[in-house]
Amino acid sequence: MKAQLLITAMATALLFSSCGKDPIKSEVVEEAIQFNGKITNQKASTGGLSTTSSWQANQAIGVTMVQLGTPVILEQANNKKYVFNGTSFLPETGQEIYYPVNMLPVDFIAYAPHKSGLNFPGPINIDVAVQSDQAAIDLLWAKSNNGGAGFLKTAGLSVPLTFDHKLSKIIIKPTASAGLSNTDPTWGTMVININGMYTKAIFDLFQGTISTPTVKQGISPKMTAAGQTYEAIVLPGNNPTAGAFSITFVINGNQYTYTSTANEDFEAGKEYTYNLAISKTGVNLGAVTVNDWVTVSRSGLAN
C-alpha cells in the first residue's frame, strides 16, 4: 500500500512539473535572398540605369524565381521589386523572395527598370519612339542559374546577377563644316530626326529575346548638349540595304540628310557614335565609334 502511494505521489509531481513549462518548439527562421547586380557594358544611357557610375541608389529591378530550366514560378516569387541601397539589391517590404522549402534548384531572372503589375514572363512592350526619359526605355536583363546547376539554400542568400543591355544606342555628334558655323545662334536650335527605324517590339522575359519589330516611326533623339551631342536608344536590327534609315538635321529652316550605307547594323548592348560634318553641300560621315555600351569605323556622305 505504501509503495502504491509513493508511485502515485511521484506521478502527480511529474504531472504538475510538466504543466509548469511551455512545450518545446522547433522554429526555422527564413531569411530573404539578396542580389548583387552587375551591368556589363555599363555606358548606355545618360543619367539612367546604366551610366558609367553603375547602379544608383533607389533604382529598382524586377526579379522572378523559377524552377531550374523552366518558366515555372516557385514560392509566388513573380516580379518581386528589389531596390538598390548603394551596395546590393534588397526587397521592398512584402516583396521578399525565399528559397523553396522542398529544396528544388532554382534560377533567377531579372530585368530593369522594374514595372509594377507585370507578370512573368511578360511580355514587356518596348517602345523607343519617345526618348525624353532614357532610363525608362533602357532595357536590361539577367539570368542567374549557378552555372547550370541552379541555386539551393546551400548556395547562400547573396545571388549574383549580371545584366546585359538588350537594346542599342546611337550618339550623334554634329560639327559645322563649309558654309555653316557652330557659333551661329541657329546651330544650337537644330532639330534632328532618325527616320526609317523600327520603334516597337515585344520582349520575352524567360527567353531574353526581342520579337520581330512591328512599327516604323521617326525618332527624335535626346539632346544632351545643344548643337554637340544627341542620343537615342534604339532597337537592335539589321539594315542590309543602303538608305534603310536616315538622319535629318533642320538648321535655320534648311534640311540636311545623312543616308545610311548598306549593312549599317545595330547590335544589342553596343553604342554607336556618329560624327557628322554638316556643310551647305551635304553631310559627311566621319569614323563611327562603337563601344560595348569594340570600335568600328564607317564613312559616307549625305546630301
Local structure of residue 123 (DSSP, 8 states): P
DSSP label of 218 = -
CA gap 49, 113 in Å, rounded = 7
Return the H-helix or E-strand segment holding 137.
Answer: helix 134-137
Model confidence band, residue 57 (pLDDT cutoffs 50, 70, 90): confident
pLDDT value at 298 more than 50: no
Q: What average pLDDT score do residues 145-153 get?
A: 91
Task: Identify the band that residue 21 occupies on the pLDDT scale cut at 50, 70 and 90.
Answer: very low
pLDDT score at 288: 66
Split at pLDDT 50, 70, 90, the class of 53 is very low
Q: Which three cell numbers stand for residue 104?
A: 528544388
**Mean pLDDT across 83-90:** 85
Helix (H) or strand (E) holding 114: none
Weakest mean pLDDT among 79-88, 214-223, 252-261: 79-88
Sign of CA dihedral 80, 55, 235, 240: negative
Query: Concatenated DSSP letters for 2-40?
Result: HHHHHHHHHHHHHHHHHHTSPPP---------EEEEEES
Identify the pLDDT of residue 226. Answer: 96
**Average pLDDT in the chain:** 82
Residue 130 has pLDDT above 60, yes or no: yes
Residue 301 has pLDDT above 70, yes or no: no
Whether the CB-CB separation of 219 and 134 falls below 8 Å is answered with: no
- pLDDT, tens only, 234-290: 999 999 999 999 999 999 999 999 999 999 999 998 999 999 999 988 888 876 666
Task: Note the pLDDT tens digit of each residue in 89-107.
Answer: 889 999 999 998 888 999 9
Would the pLDDT of 218 be above 70?
A: yes
Q: What cell numbers appear for 269 in the block?
A: 548592348
